[in-house]
Amino acid sequence: MALMEWNENLATGLGEIDAQHKRLVAMINSLHEAMKIGKSREKVASLIGELKNYASSHFDTEEKLMERYKFSGLAPHRVEHNRFIEKVLDYGLSLEEGSNVSPVEVMMFLKSWLSSHILGTDQLYAPFLKEKGVR
């Protein structure tokens, strides 16, 4: 059974954004599955790489939409994105230096991000963008 299931509470109603958020849920579940079979240390390294790509692509999508439609909350939203990127880069640097990165810590970070950012911050721009015709 998956650790997290996608549900309508997580949905923004914006197709591309929701698809990208589903990818993050899948990454969390992938790490959880690896933990259950004792392969989490190996999975963390590949997950960090995936997270770098995810952050670059996903945040760019969100920020471009907010810029295009002049969403007033872009600046604080971008700050949250930058904090996520910094954390992921810190994990990556630790791995490069040969330090252990706790799979549990990474999973808890991602779950926390999911609940605070997607369920909170992202829900602030979703109605605004839908009102502008973004689907």
Asked if the structure places residue 74 within a domain, the reply is yes
Most confident of 15-19, 37-41, 109-113: 15-19
Give pLDDT tens digits for 25-72.
Answer: 999 999 999 999 999 888 998 999 999 999 999 999 999 999 999 999
The answer to pTM > 0.75 is: yes
Asked if the structure places residue 96 within a domain, the reply is yes
Domain that holds residue 121: 38-131
Asked if the structure places residue 9 within a domain, the reply is no
pLDDT value at residue 114: 86
Asked if the structure places residue 124 within a domain, the reply is yes
Main-chain phi, psi angles of 88, to 5 degrees:
-65, -40
User: Nearest-CA neighbor of 24 among 65, 63, 56, 54?
Assistant: 54
Asked if the structure places residue 113 within a domain, the reply is yes
The CA–CA distances, whole Å, from 44 to 51, 97, 114, 116, 134 equal 10, 14, 18, 22, 35
Number of domains in the chain: 1
Vertex 97 angle, CA 96 and 102, to 5°: 80
Q: Locate tokens 């960090």: which residue? A: 48
Q: What CATH number is given to the structural domain containing 79?
A: 1.20.120.50
